[in-house]
Structure 1
Amino acid sequence: MIEIPSQLEGKTFPLFQLEQLLKPLGYTIGGNWDYDHGSFDYKIADEAGYQFLRVPFEAIDGQLDSHGTTVKLGRPFLLSHKYQSGVDDHAYAGNFGAAFNQFSEPQDPDAAVSEKYINVGKALVKDLENRLID
């Protein structure tokens, strides 16, 4: 994980407005959200796993599944997840389990981030600052 200090940290926005601005740029709300926090993720590459920029946020007014929620942005960071090749040794092989356990476990969920992706991440953060900060 590589943190990218940003002027976005601590800024507040209506969640709906952020979604409207960021989704057309390729950001998605990460699957790790909860009622009080979540993140916008931008997939940079899928080289031997995947590399992405994550912009975390926390609800400061309302819950994430409620209309009119306001969120505060945290410090953006880069993540690289490296997956092992082949079949997962720990996957259940039964018919029912095969439908759900068909993907390999991460070999390294916090793999090193290549310098080229660090530069891309910094540029993405700068672009977000330009778009979101008046």
Structure 2
Amino acid sequence: MIKLDTELEGKRALYGEVCRLFGDHGLVIGGNWDFDQGMFDTTLYSDGGESIYLRLPFDVESGMLDEEDALLVFKTPFVIKHIANIGLDDEESPALATTGLDQFQSPEDKDAPIHQKTNWAVEGEQKVAALMDDMQFSQL
């Protein structure tokens, strides 16, 4: 994981506004969220089972995440690399196979070493800077 040096940390914005703008920049809310925290993700690189992601974590300061007017406060953005398990699942479940729910496996490595760290840090920081240029953040 590479923590990024950006101006985003500590900034506040409304969930509805962030979703629209971040969506325009290819970021979506990640699947591992709940009503008081989450992160926006985008893929910086993907080849075979290897993917490098930019993640923008946040806490919900007021409201709940599924509300347009929930106030988010951003934490330190980071770049992370996943290596997918593209082989057969050794613990395959016949019940899951029958229902079609066995199509996803856990990553082989959720925080794999990242080569060319400086390049990925620069790319992530540039993407965050572009977001910052387009976003109105609360001064609360």
For the superposition of Structure 1 and Structure 2, which TM-score range results when normalised by the shorter chain?
A: 0.7 to 0.9
Partner amino acid for 1:57? F
2:10 corresponds in structure 1 to 10
1:119 corresponds in structure 2 to 122
Please, what is the CA RMSD of the aligned residues? 1.7
2:44 corresponds in structure 1 to 44
1:97 corresponds in structure 2 to 96
Matched, 1:60 2:26: no
Equivalents in 1 of 2:136, 2:7: separation in Å? 8
Q: Tell me the SS of whatever aligns to 1:107.
A: coil
The structure 1 segments of at least 4 consecutive aligned residues displaced by more than 4 Å after TM superposition are none
Q: Tell me the SS of whatever aligns to 2:57.
A: strand
Equivalents in 2 of 1:87, 1:46: separation in Å? 20
**Higher RCO, Cα 8 Å, sep 6+:** 2
Q: If the length of structure 1 is used for normalisation, what is the TM-score?
A: 0.88
Runs of 5+ unmatched residues, structure 2: none
Q: Contact 2:15/2:67 (CA < 8 Å) preserved in 1? A: no
Identity of aligned residues (%): 31
Q: Contact 1:91/1:102 (CA < 8 Å) preserved in 2? A: no
Matched, 1:28 2:28: yes
Quote how far apart the aligned CAs of 1:85 are: 3.2
Quote how far apart the aligned CAs of 1:34 are: 0.3
Q: Contact 2:13/2:136 (CA < 8 Å) preserved in 1? A: no
Runs of 5+ unmatched residues, structure 1: none
1:66-121 alpha-carbon deviations (Å, 9 max, x no partner):
341111011100111101332122222x1x31122233331111011232433321
Instruction: Note closer, same or farther for the CA distance 1:113–1:133 as it changes in structure 2 (3 Å cut).
Output: farther
